Amino acid sequence: MMPYRKKKNGIPDRWLEYDAVGKRVPGTRFIAFKVPLKQSLNSRVPESDAFGPWDLLDSLERENHELGLIIDLTFTTRYYKLWDVPELWSYVKILTEGHHIPSDATILSFKQAVRRFLRDNADNDKLIGVHCTHGLNRTGYLVCRYLIDVDGLDPQAAVELFNSSRGHHIERQNYLEDLQSGPKRSNEGMDESEQEPARGRAAERPPSFPIGSDPREESRPHSDERRRPRAQHRRPAGHQPCLRPPQGGLLPLPALLPTPPLPLLMAPYRTAPPHSQHHWSPAHPDAQRRRPLHPEGTRPRTPPEPGTNEPNEPNRQNGQNQSEERAGPRKKPRHRPRHRK
């Protein structure tokens, strides 16, 4: 498989290297050509190399040929749409992946489209146009496959007939090997066409645009064009315009609205006292620390445990530590009896 190459500006790779239209294959209704491009893509190539559906029509008219059906084998719909095809032609889309040998279902769909057109146009000499991206490899394989399987032509003769008519030789080696030494495909169900041909929707030739321009840009307004002024709506009687701040961003003094009163939620916080025997009042905002619950020296003492000889006196000797006074009386250590061995 060949490496994928990114298409620049939407133009297929090596598209300019191939002739636009080949010659009619002698003894058949087939004519091969490369994919015609829509107008927005043709505007990106030189005018002498532009090739679209209407250029195909002009080329066939110069050769006194009339096209009746287009069989599109490309694996995309980005090159042109149905409304780019003249309404004189029928159109059939058969998605065919490149670089790979087409499947039996794809081959059968091609045979069905050709057989149906030949049956419906037996009284005229309209041609069947077949194209892929370059109108060479996939196109050449399916045209030669039809000539081999249906018309019974020799594989080598079919390939040479197509190459001479197209003006280029089939390049894919796997296509040539399958045509020359591969098995024939079955023609069963060839007369039972399932796909209905569509009709082109382009009624007239579109206008031409200069090279490098995009037709979509014509509908966009240019920047130098003057914009229409906005409609001035009449204001009702008694309308007062809203006041806007000056350039400094501040409203003029005095203020428009009076200063609202302090809400009730922002009043000093008060609550009920925790105990009825104490008189509690909220702390002053300027207070730096909490007041002690009990004045120094008046904290109630913890009563001594029963059985101790320590008196419950309000004042202690001067030699005792202040921490002992706050902690209360010491407890007498308990002596545990020793267990006899």
Query: What's the predicted TM-score (pTM) here?
Result: 0.62
Q: Which of 11-15, 207-211, 304-308 is predicted least confidently?
A: 304-308
Question: pLDDT: is 246 or 220 the higher one?
Answer: 246
Q: Look at residues 119, 163, 152 and name the one whose alpha carbon lies nearest to residue 29.
A: 119
Question: pLDDT: is 338 or 244 the higher one?
Answer: 338
Provide the mean pLDDT of the chain: 78
Question: pLDDT: is 78 or 248 the higher one?
Answer: 78
- CA 39, CA 309: separation in Å to the nearest integer? 118
- Give yes or no for residue 135 having a pLDDT over 70: yes
Reported confidence tier of residue 207, pLDDT bands at 50, 70, 90: confident
Return the pLDDT at 268: 54
DSSP-assigned letter for residue 157: H
- Give yes or no for residue 292 having a pLDDT over 70: no
Reported confidence tier of residue 4, pLDDT bands at 50, 70, 90: very low
Q: Which helix (H) or strand (E) holds 32?
A: strand 30-33
Reported confidence tier of residue 225, pLDDT bands at 50, 70, 90: very low
Q: Report the catalytic residues.
A: 132, 138
Q: How many CA atoms lie within 13 A of 102 on its CB side?
A: 27
Return the pLDDT at 193: 84
Return the pLDDT at 182: 94
Range 184-208 average pLDDT: 90
Question: pLDDT: is 289 or 71 the higher one?
Answer: 71
- CA 265, CA 18: separation in Å to the nearest integer? 87
Q: What is the pLDDT of residues 90-102, one digit of tens each?
A: 999 999 999 999 9
Percent of the chain with pLDDT over 90: 55
- Give yes or no for residue 107 having a pLDDT over 80: yes
Question: pLDDT: is 121 or 3 the higher one?
Answer: 121
- Give yes or no for residue 80 having a pLDDT over 60: yes
Domains with residue ranges and CATH for the chain: 18-200 (3.90.190.10)
Q: Which helix (H) or strand (E) holds 128?
A: strand 127-131
**Sheet bearing 30-33, strands edge to edge:** 21-24, 30-33, 127-131, 67-72, 90-93, 198-199
Q: Which of 61-75, 186-200, 215-229, 252-266 is predicted least confidently?
A: 215-229
Reported confidence tier of residue 195, pLDDT bands at 50, 70, 90: confident
- Give yes or no for residue 244 having a pLDDT over 50: yes
CA end-to-end span of the chain, whole Å?
100
